[in-house]
Amino acid sequence: MNKGVRECIVVLVLLLTTAICAQSENSQDHNPLFQGWYADPEGAVFGDTYWVFPTFSDDFEKQLHFDAFSSKDLVNWQKHERILDTTQIKWLRQALWAPAIIEKNEEYYLFFGANDIQRPGRDSYDPDNDINHYGGIGVAVAQNPAGPYKDYLGKPLISDFYNDAQPIDQFVFQDIDGTYYFFYGGWSHCNLGKLNDDFTGFIPWEDGTLFKEITPESYVEGPFMFLRNGIYYFMWSEGSWGDGSYKVAYSMSDKVTGPYKRIGTVLETTEGDIATGAGHHSVIKKPGTDEYIMVYHRRPIPNLDRDHRVVCMDKMEFNADGTIKPVKITHEGVK
């Protein structure tokens, strides 16, 4: 074999090795979790299966259904199409978003915002266009996390503006005493209520009101809560959902009702990151462990549209004092 042939073979082997290594590295990338434009993911564990319920991210007038995704290993995801849409929610006319789910008595209750309801007095309110004059937070129910879901009430669960909070972005938290707490609110106001036994309404607080405002500093929307080692972690999104300023902050308390004082930012994107606008998250705890995962959406680079958002997962870890370490945004995600 002459020298020229040997050199060609060496070059070919090097190129092939490089290609194989690159393919191997890419095979370790798990973010985004699945294809398509999705946002506002609600993560949950039912039995031995992980679930993600996201917003279908599109123009408001096209955002009229939910898909769900399930996985046994957090890597391979099965898509469950159109688990809820306008065929079931007759009062839905636009902007179905930000699902939240909880299981009770072997039934699955899916809470959602619909119609981007507005009120008189805001610049966004158009008296001549009634598409967002009625709506708010609704609830649907199914016998299986994958649906099919049906409208539980035939009307919104909340359609009024308590404490000036837009009725969107709800989260249901079951406390250790069995009480179901209901966090929600846009327009930089967060309310807290207590769901009644059949999820048809709310139990008044001691002062007779249905909702207490618990808005922490810099809150915008997207509330979420989890309990770890006796500490209640209350989390929310800040910035603007439509651009790269979106991020997640948190606080800690020894009571589900707070008070909640902002500790700091736990998820945000900075210059040079692999994406922008990471926010509107949820948290999954791996069953039987002290391992936690943040489920969130972010804007890929390059970004193609206001609604170009994808769902990702990354590890969430804690310091010795219980505070949360900043979440690192990765391509690799959770293995």
For the annotated catalytic residues, the residue numbers are 40, 221
Q: Write the CB contacts of 2 (distance below 8 Å, at least 6 apart in sequence).
A: none
DSSP state of 86: T
The Cα 282–Cα 224 span in angstroms is: 6
* Sequence-distant (≥ 6) Cβ neighbours of residue 184 within 8 angstroms: 137, 158, 165, 167, 168, 169, 170, 171, 190, 191, 193, 223
- Number of H-type helices and E-type strands within the chain: 1, 20
Q: How far apart are CA 138 and CA 105, in angstroms?
A: 20
77 SS3 class: coil
Phi, psi of 161 (to 5 degrees): -105, 80
Q: 164 phi and psi, to 5 degrees?
A: 65, 20
CA 246 to chain centre: 13
Cα distances (angstroms) measured from residue 90 to each of 93, 97, 207, 291, 313: 8, 15, 35, 40, 33
DSSP-assigned letter for residue 93: -
SS3 of residue 26 by DSSP? helix
**C-alpha dihedral, 165 to 60 to 56 to 244, nearest 10°:** -70
Q: DSSP alpha helices (H): ranges in 48-152?
A: none
